[in-house]
């Protein structure tokens, strides 16, 4: 004889996977759902002569501990959802970093706007972010990847903010901003070197009236805040 058995958790037992399904359904627009409780479906076949004995044994041995083992599948739905969200974040930051690097090179090499030393330094966090995002998307699943990105773009925010402050007279230029390695014994070298000098306070290229350091400050700060929200929210 064949029996269909539906197993569900008691109402007192937390159901994190059911909550994950509920959030996933609401994210796709099904807001009328109040709650989701998941369960297991079993098909049991027993000999007719042992029917009562088997059913009694089955009922007595499914306790809460065994239910927990049933619900702890190898692929936890909540972990899977978090992983996919993290991968989307990594892909977005990876793409933005690639665009930022190539845009800086295009502005320098094609449009002819020379970068200052701080402009060059601001490319480093993006190169680091590309490497971190590649590792996070393909290999590592821990919070350390997201934390590493937060640290990287916090440094990027500080560096860009400092440069933006120099451009607007908030901070003084530091000694390394100007090129002092000029050969004063050669007139042609002097002229050539002067053309290659770019002070950190000089703003030659803007987008919508904002310097590149200002844009970098804003975008890096947004990435830090967005990553922090993702890290904290996913813990709930």
- Extents of the domains making up the chain: 2-71, 79-233
pLDDT score for 59: 56
Pair 228, 149: CB distance under 8 Å: no
Residue 90 has pLDDT above 90, yes or no: yes
**Does pTM surpass 0.75?**
no
Strand-strand pairing, 2-8 and 39-45: antiparallel
Percent with pLDDT over 90 in the chain? 28
pLDDT class of 93 with cuts at 50, 70, 90: very high
pLDDT in tens, 29-52: 777 777 777 777 777 676 655 555
Residue 142 has pLDDT above 90, yes or no: no
pLDDT score for 70: 46
Domain 79-233 has CATH 1.20.1550.10: yes
Q: Which of 72, 84, 26, 18 is nearest to 234 (CA)?
A: 84
pLDDT in tens, 146-156: 999 999 999 99
Residue 74 has pLDDT above 80, yes or no: no
Task: Quote the CA–CA distance of 126 and 142 in Å, as a whole number.
Answer: 21
pLDDT score for 175: 65
pLDDT class of 75 with cuts at 50, 70, 90: very low
Give, as one character, the DSSP assignment of residue 139.
T
CATH number of 2-71: 3.30.1280.10
Least confident residue range of 97-101, 130-134, 228-232: 228-232
Residue 102 has pLDDT above 80, yes or no: yes
| CA 200 to each of CA 28, 86, 121, 211, 216: distance values in angstroms, whole numbers, following the listed order | 48, 36, 11, 12, 15
Residue 220 has pLDDT above 90, yes or no: yes
Pair 81, 19: CB distance under 8 Å: no
pLDDT class of 96 with cuts at 50, 70, 90: very high
pLDDT score for 191: 44
Alpha-carbon dihedral 159, 164, 165, 166, rounded to 10 degrees: 90
Q: Which residue's structure tokens are 């959802």?
A: 81
pLDDT class of 231 with cuts at 50, 70, 90: confident
């Amino acid at each position: 004889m064949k029996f269909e058995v539906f197993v569900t958790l008691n109402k007192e037992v937390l159901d994190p996977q059911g909550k994950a399904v509920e959030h996933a359904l609401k994210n796709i627009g099904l807001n009328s759902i109040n709650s989701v409780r998941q369960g297991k479906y079993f098909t049991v076949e027993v000999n007719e002569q042992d029917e009562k004995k088997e059913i009694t044994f089955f009922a007595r041995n499914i306790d809460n501990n065994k239910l927990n083992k049933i619900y702890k599948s190898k692929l936890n739905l909540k972990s899977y959802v978090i992983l996919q969200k993290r991968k989307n974040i990594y892909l977005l930051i990876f793409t933005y970093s690639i665009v930022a690097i190539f845009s800086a090179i295009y502005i320098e090499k094609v449009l002819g706007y020379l970068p200052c030393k701080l402009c060059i330094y601001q490319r480093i966090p993006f190169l680091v972010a590309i490497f971190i995002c590649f590792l996070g998307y393909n290999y590592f699943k821990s919070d350390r990847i997201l934390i590493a990105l937060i640290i990287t773009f916090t440094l990027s925010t500080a560096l860009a903010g400092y440069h933006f402050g120099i451009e607007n007279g908030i901070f003084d230029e530091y000694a390394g901003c100007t090129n002092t390695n000029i050969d004063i014994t050669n007139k042609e070298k002097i002229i050539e070197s002067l053309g290659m000098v770019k002070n950190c306070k000089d703003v030659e290229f803007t987008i919508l009236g904002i310097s590149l350091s200002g844009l970098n400050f804003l975008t890096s700060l947004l990435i830090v805040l967005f990553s922090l929200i993702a890290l904290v929210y996913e813990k709930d």
